């Protein structure tokens, strides 16, 4: 059974002044992008933990939403709810906050690869900070987190002190060739808390992806590879003049077949557009 994903959508976003989950990110919401990236990196299900009654943007049909029924307890409560909800589905979970627009699937995979039989949590110390909200946890930690909450603990760091935690330095993270090639600055852990940080993040260059067209889509000068700057499959299709409809499918990195325009893309992705029509 593969690892699962947990995305925390709660929080008051007081410094941002607007719900982070709904923030626009180059054609999709920030929450839609985050769950899509996590979903690309884990084999199991992805769940979003939200505050009671919290309004969420549209999400893929296969993403679950579970309510955190206790307000004001912070991300530790979301961690407890997520781990408890997923405990019967997988031994490992990657957990993150909503506000990670530069999260890369290779980062998620590298964190999960850090587990062994003597490890309960894998937490990077990346870009000078501990990253408990972009980390891996055993789902069996749910009772420990709940006990700590009952004792008044509110910071995820208290969970890490109470379990077998493996810390990953920048150097250890970047020892993974795939991560070093696609996210050498470890911007995967760069979150956004204020309007200024949001504007600065939006101004960053879009991911560079490689596009190739096949069948009838390769006619009229469309043969060969090209480079496109785009954050979603829909934007990539627009850039090369392709309409994502029932006649077209896209293969993402030779593995995943989709025609969902909201599919998030990251640096290093390869997109192959194919005609779904007979004889294409």
pLDDT cut 70: percent of the chain above it: 94
Residues 63 and 191 reside in one and the same domain: yes
DSSP character at residue 120: S
Q: Which of 174, 198, 222 is the last residue of a domain?
A: 198
Tens-digit pLDDT profile for residues 1-14: 589 999 999 776 66
CA nearest to 135, candidates 193, 74, 79: 79
Tens-digit pLDDT profile for residues 227-239: 999 999 999 999 9
* 131 in a structural domain: yes
Which pair of structure tokens corresponds to residue 206?
Answer: 């879009």
pLDDT of residue 156: 87
CATH of the domain at 91: 3.90.550.10
Q: Distance (Å, rounded) from C-alpha 166 to C-alpha 168?
A: 7
Provide the pLDDT confidence category of residue 88 given band limits of 50, 70 and 90. Answer: very high
Q: With a cut of 70, say whether residue 200 has pLDDT above it.
A: yes
Reduce the DSSP state of residue 257 to 3 states and report it.
Answer: strand
Q: With a cut of 60, say whether residue 45 has pLDDT above it.
A: yes
pLDDT of residue 278: 45
Query: pTM of whole model > 0.85?
Result: yes
Mean pLDDT of 106-112: 98
Is 227 in contact with 210 (CB distance < 8 Å)? yes
Q: With a cut of 80, say whether residue 276 has pLDDT above it.
A: no
Q: Which domain holds residue 218?
A: 208-275
pLDDT of residue 195: 94
Q: With a cut of 90, say whether residue 21 has pLDDT above it.
A: yes
Q: Which of 163, 198, 233 is the last residue of a domain?
A: 198
């Amino acid at each position: 059974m593969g690892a699962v994903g947990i995305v925390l959508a709660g929080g008051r976003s007081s410094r941002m002044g607007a719900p982070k989950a709904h923030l626009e990110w180059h054609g999709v919401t920030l929450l839609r992008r985050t769950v899509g990236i996590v979903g690309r990196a884990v084999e199991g299900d992805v769940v979003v933990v939200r505050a009671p009654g919290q309004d969420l943007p549209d999400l893929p049909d296969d993403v679950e939403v579970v309510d955190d029924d206790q307000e004001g307890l912070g991300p530790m409560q979301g961690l407890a709810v997520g781990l408890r909800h997923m405990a019967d589905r997988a031994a490992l979970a990657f957990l993150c906050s909503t506000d990670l627009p530069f999260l890369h699937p290779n980062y998620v995979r590298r964190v999960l690869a850090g587990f062994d039989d003597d490890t309960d949590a894998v937490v990077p110390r990346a870009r000078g900070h501990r990253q408990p909200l972009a980390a891996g946890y055993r789902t069996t930690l749910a009772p420990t987190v709940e006990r700590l909450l009952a004792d008044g603990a509110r910071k995820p760091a208290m969970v890490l002190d109470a379990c077998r935690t493996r810390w990953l330095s920048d150097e250890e993270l970047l020892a993974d060739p795939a991560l070093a090639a696609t996210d050498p600055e470890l911007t995967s852990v760069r979150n956004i808390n204020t309007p200024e940080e949001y504007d600065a993040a939006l101004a960053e260059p879009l991911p560079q992806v490689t596009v190739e067209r096949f069948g009838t889509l390769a006619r009229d000068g469309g043969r060969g590879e090209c480079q496109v700057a785009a954050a979603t499959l829909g934007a990539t299709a627009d850039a090369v003049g392709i309409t994502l409809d029932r006649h077209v499918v896209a293969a993402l990195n030779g593995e995943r077949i989709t025609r969902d325009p909201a599919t998030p893309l990251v640096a290093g992705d390869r997109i192959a557009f194919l005609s779904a029509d007979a004889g294409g």
